[in-house]
Amino acid sequence: MEKVVNIHAAKTHLSRLVEEAANGSSFVIARAGRPLVRVTAVDATGAAQQRLGFMAGEIIVPDDFDRMGVEEIGRMFGGDL
């Protein structure tokens, strides 16, 4: 069973509790004995690996994307780009 810590104790001992959670010992913060949140370590390597390239093959960026709309922007601001 996970450790349950009341909110006052969690505020008082936050650094120690976060270190424990980062090392794999998740815990629950409760108010008046009612569980509110679970604190667990974040798997940073897994999150980054899942995010990278998530739209690969879904969109096409034109070669001139940095020049798109240049005429309209020039007209809007009264200058030549």
pLDDT at 53 over 80: no
Task: Round to whole Å and give the CA distance between 81 and 68.
Answer: 11
Q: Is residue 80 part of a domain?
A: no
Q: Is residue 3 part of a domain?
A: yes
Q: Is residue 69 part of a domain?
A: no
User: What pTM does this model have?
Assistant: 0.52
Give the model's pLDDT for residue 78.
84
At 35-50, the pLDDT tens digits run: 999 999 987 555 545 6
- Domain range for 18 is 1-42
Number of structural domains the chain divides into: 1
